[in-house]
Chains A and B, each alone.
Chain A
Amino acid sequence: MQIYLPIAEVSVNAFLLLGLGGLVGVLSGMFGVGGGFLMTPLLFFIGIPPAVAVATEANQIVASSFSGVLAHLKRKTVDIKMGLVLQVGGLIGAVIGIQIFNYLKAIGQVDLLVMLSYVIFLGIIGTLMFFESLRAILRSRGGQAVPTRRRHNWVHNLPFKMKFRASGLYISAIPPIMVGVLVGVLAAIMGVGGGFIMVPAMIYVLGMPTKVVVGTSLFQIIITTAFTTMMHATTNYTVDIALAVLLLVGGVIGAQIGTRIGLKLKAEQLRILLALMVIAVCVKLGLDLLLMPSELYSLGEGGH
Chain B
Amino acid sequence: MKRFFSLVAALVAFALPASAQQEGIVAGLSQNAVQITATFVGSEILIFGAVKRDAPAPAGDLGVVVVVEGPSDPITVRRKEKRMGIWVNTDAVEVEAAPSFYAIATSAPFDEIISPELNRERDISIPESVRILEDETATDTESFAEAVIRIRSKAGLYMINEGAVTMSEDTLFNTRIELPSNLTEGDYQARIYLTRGGELVAEHSASIDVRKVGLERWLYNLAHEQAFLYGLMSLAIAIAAGWGASAFFRVFLRS
* Interface band, chain B: 35 or more
Establish whether residues A256 and B40, one from each chain, have CB atoms under 8 Å apart when the complex forms: no
**Docked pose: A136 CA to B184 CA in angstroms:** 55
Q: Report A-chain residues with C-beta under 8 Å of the C-beta of B249.
A: 71, 256
**Docked pose: A234 CA to B232 CA in angstroms:** 10
For residue B9, CB closer than 8 A to chain A, the reply is no
Other-chain residue from B74, B82, B181, B241 in contact with A10 (beta carbon distance below 8 A): B181
Establish whether residues A67 and B246, one from each chain, have CB atoms under 8 Å apart when the complex forms: yes
For residue A230, CB closer than 8 A to chain B, the reply is yes
| B212, chain A: closest CB distance, angstroms | 6
Establish whether residues B151 and A297, one from each chain, have CB atoms under 8 Å apart when the complex forms: yes
Establish whether residues B219 and A289, one from each chain, have CB atoms under 8 Å apart when the complex forms: no
Establish whether residues A6 and B86, one from each chain, have CB atoms under 8 Å apart when the complex forms: no
Establish whether residues A303 and B181, one from each chain, have CB atoms under 8 Å apart when the complex forms: no
8 Å CB interface, A214-259 against B: 226, 229-230, 232-234, 237, 239, 241-242, 244-245, 248-249, 251-253, 255-256
Q: Report A-chain residues with C-beta under 8 Å of the C-beta of B150.
A: 295, 297
Binary interface encoding of chain B residues 171-200 relative to chain A, with 1 for a CB under 8 A from any of its CBs, else 0 = 000000000011111000000000000000
Q: Report B-chain residues with C-beta under 8 Å of the C-beta of A244.
A: 234, 237-238
Binary interface encoding of chain B residues 206-245 relative to chain A, with 1 for a CB under 8 A from any of its CBs, else 0 = 0000001001110110011001101111110111011111
Stretch at the interface among A56-64, A124-132, A176-184: A56-64
For residue A159, CB closer than 8 A to chain B, the reply is no
Q: A66-B238, A256-B246 are in contact. Are A233 and B181 (CB under 8 A)?
A: no
For residue B204, CB closer than 8 A to chain A, the reply is no
Stretch at the interface among B23-31, B88-96, B102-110, B119-127: B88-96
Establish whether residues B219 and A63, one from each chain, have CB atoms under 8 Å apart when the complex forms: no
* Interface band, chain A: 35 or more
**Docked pose: A304 CA to B133 CA in angstroms:** 13
For residue B36, CB closer than 8 A to chain A, the reply is yes
What does DSSP make chain A's interface, helix, strand, loop or mixed? Answer: helix
Establish whether residues A71 and B246, one from each chain, have CB atoms under 8 Å apart when the complex forms: yes
For residue B73, CB closer than 8 A to chain A, the reply is yes
**Docked pose: A234 CA to B231 CA in angstroms:** 7
Q: Report A-chain residues with C-beta under 8 Å of the C-beta of B244.
A: 252
Establish whether residues B76 and A299, one from each chain, have CB atoms under 8 Å apart when the complex forms: yes
8 Å CB interface, A281-304 against B: 288-293, 295-304
Establish whether residues A7 and B38, one from each chain, have CB atoms under 8 Å apart when the complex forms: no
| A241, chain B: closest CB distance, angstroms | 5
Residue in A closest to B92 when the chains form the complex, CB atoms? A300
Establish whether residues B238 and A60, one from each chain, have CB atoms under 8 Å apart when the complex forms: yes
For residue B52, CB closer than 8 A to chain A, the reply is no
Establish whether residues A233 and B239, one from each chain, have CB atoms under 8 Å apart when the complex forms: no
**Docked pose: A142 CA to B100 CA in angstroms:** 64
For residue A4, CB closer than 8 A to chain B, the reply is yes
Residue in B closest to A66 when the chains form the complex, CB atoms? B242
For residue B250, CB closer than 8 A to chain A, the reply is yes
| B96, chain A: closest CB distance, angstroms | 8
For residue A109, CB closer than 8 A to chain B, the reply is yes
Establish whether residues B39 and A2, one from each chain, have CB atoms under 8 Å apart when the complex forms: yes
For residue B37, CB closer than 8 A to chain A, the reply is yes
Q: Report B-chain residues with C-beta under 8 Å of the C-beta of A59.
A: 234-235, 238
Establish whether residues A62 and B238, one from each chain, have CB atoms under 8 Å apart when the complex forms: yes
**Docked pose: A192 CA to B220 CA in angstroms:** 25
Q: A66-B243, A256-B246, A302-B76 are in contact. Are A226 and B87 (CB under 8 A)?
A: no
Binary interface encoding of chain B residues 129-160 relative to chain A, with 1 for a CB under 8 A from any of its CBs, else 0 = 00000000000000010011011000100000
Q: Report A-chain residues with C-beta under 8 Å of the C-beta of B148.
A: 297, 299
Establish whether residues B79 and A297, one from each chain, have CB atoms under 8 Å apart when the complex forms: yes
**Docked pose: A70 CA to B246 CA in angstroms:** 6
Closest 10 CB pairs of A and B: A302-B74, A66-B242, A233-B231, A11-B181, A297-B147, A252-B245, A63-B238, A70-B246, A67-B242, A62-B238
Contacts beyond the supplied A2-B40, A10-B181, A109-B88: 18 A-B pairs with Cβ under 8 Å: A2-B181, A7-B220, A9-B185, A63-B239, A63-B241, A65-B242, A67-B242, A71-B246, A226-B235, A230-B231, A233-B231, A233-B234, A244-B234, A248-B237, A252-B246, A289-B87, A297-B79, A299-B76
* CB-defined A-B contacts under 8 Å, sample of 16: A11-B182, A62-B239, A63-B238, A112-B86, A226-B235, A233-B230, A244-B237, A252-B244, A252-B245, A252-B246, A290-B86, A297-B80, A300-B78, A302-B94, A303-B74, A304-B94
